[in-house]
Chains A and B, each alone.
Chain A
Amino acid sequence: MRKWSELAFSTFLVVFFILAIILAQGWSFKVKLFPLGVAYPMLVIALINLALNIRTIQKDAKAETLRPAPVAAGDAASPTGAGVVAAGEKASSDDYRAAYMATRDELPPEVIARRVLMIILWMLSSFAMIWIIGLKFGIPIWMAIFLRYQSKEKIWVTLVLSLFAFIFMVGFFDRVVHIPWPDSQLTHWFGWDWTFVDGFYGFFLEYP
């Protein structure tokens, strides 16, 4: 799996440098000198890297077909990580490293994959929250949801921490540093600009 991921990433780099070269073709010599000066040699190196990747995969596949009988999978919790290396597969140096990484975490690969997907979704949701509601309010609301439903924190812990984050953002970034926040999509869609909340916290922050 890792070898295929490596191959995919190497291919991405080749495509990246080819695109960089193609896009630079229309520019004047001075403008394209630097990008092309970098992209051409990099493309050569990326192609060599890709070829090496393909050769490794071919070599491993050949070794696998030559192997007379599958070797039993080892103990998943062994310190060498033998259990993570698939049975019958000739373990390449990369597999050893991958096995080490997995056993270091002492988590089954499917749990790791599920958690990775979950955190990516959580990060995407925080981004969506910022985009839709705005940074000032999106982040504390997202924090509350995360703390309550992912971290399973008590309701008062969730509220206190989220409120702390909100006061920190508004108190320092808004009131002291005067960061110009990006408009939320709610503002674009409905003209909703949160002034009622501004008035609310303004009352507490300014009047005393």
Chain B
Amino acid sequence: MIEAMFEGLTGIFVWPAFGLLLLGILIGWFVGLLPGIGSIVALALMIPFTFNMSPIEAFSFLLGMFVVTTNAGEITAILFGVPGEATTAATILDGHPMTKKGEAGRAMGASLMSSIIGAIIGAATLAALIPVVRPLVLSFAAPELFALTILGVTFIASLSGDNLFKGVLMAGFGFMLTAVGQDGQSGVLRYTFGQLYLWDGIGLIPVAVGMFAVPEIMDLFVRGTSLAEAKVGKLGGVMEGVKDAFRHIGLVVRAGAMSAFIGLIPGLGGAVAQWVTYGHAVQSAKDKSMFGHGDVRGVLAPGASSNAKEGGALVPTVAFGVPGSLAMAILLGAFLIVGLQPGPNMLEENLHVTWSLVFIVLFATFISCGLAFLFLGQMVKITYVKGTILIPFLTLLIWMGAYTATNNFGDLVSVFLFGMLGFILVKLDWPRPPLILGLVLGGLTEKYLFIATQRYGIMLFARPVVIVVLILTLAALVYSVMQAKSMRKERLRREQVQREALDA
């Protein structure tokens, strides 16, 4: 075991594996900064280059690139409010308001530091669970996955602020959007109105880009200033962000562990992990008033999630050849290309390769975050560029981001329409995150509900894990409703004080 670990560690530091790791990191940064060209596209494009590589070289290149794209995607989310990846949309909620307050450096420092901690948790999860994970993963069938999606739905309450009604309605709207398109089970077309574009349903990227990026561009235009409304410190508080990660270490560790667990379960995906951890950050905070207005905890939780979930997702991929996500499915292809057979073999004969995966996740994050810290000062300067110069480039990014995700012109229409909807929601003070969470969870909920009812009927509710998860769901729901009530009370009290002051 120790020998394999050492072999895995040294394997990534020999030439050309280390050079390929650095190359992967560079490509990952570039790809991650461009909305739409996500890690999936990057992995698919780069796989052909691995044909003549050894396993460790190939994974240094591919996994290094993959891990970094999410980090880079968080930078665009924080700086411009444009999610580089669908899995970085939650970072916008508090990251971009921090940029507006002149705290872009702090937000990026917090995001990168929590990413490092998340990567350690993810890698540790991968290392620790590989030998014992089999019974855990096999105990999760469709009913358990359905129960988990229902648990995810309870986070809507946390994402709704002090108005649960509005949050639930927005989540319902998101759920309904997932019903658009060809029904996965029967092939019947639902709510397509004769439009070919709607057959595949409404994608997460155009909705997330429209809902979050377009209102930001409009706000930038209306304000007529730069992205940052205030200047803070030499680097905008990068070190402050790093310290924040340690101030809220409990939250970062919990978010990392939750994401590693979500990553572990095939079929839930990275977007779920980000929103669930964001919801947890809100739910577990005593003072929730700053969430959505630039609370660093809203950056830390999704930041920790970004790399932790990859460690978790690698577990079923390596141990059983069951990919935890689409990216893992492509990576599985790379296993076969370099002549590896995922499964028990990876824990015996090729254990050193498995260990190398653990170290690649770790070192790719360390190196990329180290490099990012060097250039954060320069990145922060972008936020002081005149808004009228940035707006055309941001417009270019949102159109390109939306189009390149599926190469469909209809996505541009979606971005515009959801952009307008996002703007209306901002102006009317309706919460946007529940809509995205609904969109993320809706398809999964329906799919697993269908499979579970077909296979188990009503007995799906008699399975032990389902019962436990549903009890947890109920507890989370009661707790969230109570919290929402107390928040509303607090808001009304504040407004009463304000009103009295005005009348006086």
Q: Which residue of B lies closest to A113 (CB)?
A: B222
Contact A161 B392 (CB under 8 A): yes
Interface string of A87-126 (1 = CB under 8 A from B): 0000101101100010001010000100110111011101
Residues of A whose CB lies within 8 Å of any CB of B are: 2, 5-6, 9, 13, 16-17, 20, 23-24, 27-28, 30-31, 33-35, 38-39, 41-42, 45-46, 48-49, 52, 74, 80, 82, 91, 93-94, 96-97, 101, 105, 107, 112, 115-116, 118-120, 122-124, 126-127, 130-131, 135, 139, 142-143, 146-147, 150-153, 161, 165, 169, 172-173, 177, 179-180, 182
Measured in the bound complex, the distance between the Cα atoms of B166 and A9 in whole Å is 11
Q: Can you list 26 A-B contacts with CB-CB less than 8 angstroms, sorted by A residue number?
A: A5-B424, A5-B428, A13-B169, A16-B173, A30-B186, A30-B450, A31-B186, A34-B179, A38-B176, A45-B172, A49-B165, A116-B222, A119-B391, A120-B218, A126-B399, A135-B399, A143-B396, A146-B391, A151-B386, A152-B388, A153-B389, A161-B389, A173-B404, A177-B37, A179-B403, A182-B403
Pair B428/A28 contact, Cβ less than 8 Å:
no
- Whether B428 and A127, one on each chain, are in contact in the complex, defined by CB atoms closer than 8 angstroms, is no
A119 and B217 in contact, given A28-B186, A80-B501 (Cβ under 8 angstroms): yes
Cβ–Cβ < 8 Å partners of B429 in chain A: 94, 97
A48 close to B165 (CB less than 8 A): yes
Query: In the bound complex, what is the Cα–Cα distance between A131 and B409 (angstroms)?
Result: 9
**Segment at the interface with A among B87-95, B303-311, B323-331, B491-499:** B491-499
Contacts of B45 in A (CB 8 A): 177
Contacts of A151 in B (CB 8 A): 386, 388-389, 391-392
A176 shortest CB reach to chain B, Å: 9
Please provide the chain B residues from 66 to 102 with a CB less than 8 Å away from any CB of chain A in the complex. Answer: none
The distance in angstroms between the C-alpha atoms of A122 and B391, with both chains bound, is 10
B169 near A42 with CB under 8 A, answer yes
Q: Residues of A contacting B388 with CB < 8 Å? A: 147, 150-153
Contacts of B420 in A (CB 8 A): 120
Is there contact, CB below 8 Å, between B392 and A179?
Answer: no
Total chain B interface residues with beta-carbon distance under 8 A: 63
Q: Is B195 an interface residue (CB 8 A)?
A: no
Contact A9 B176, beta carbon cutoff 8 Å: no
Minimum CB–CB distance for A114 against chain B, Å: 9
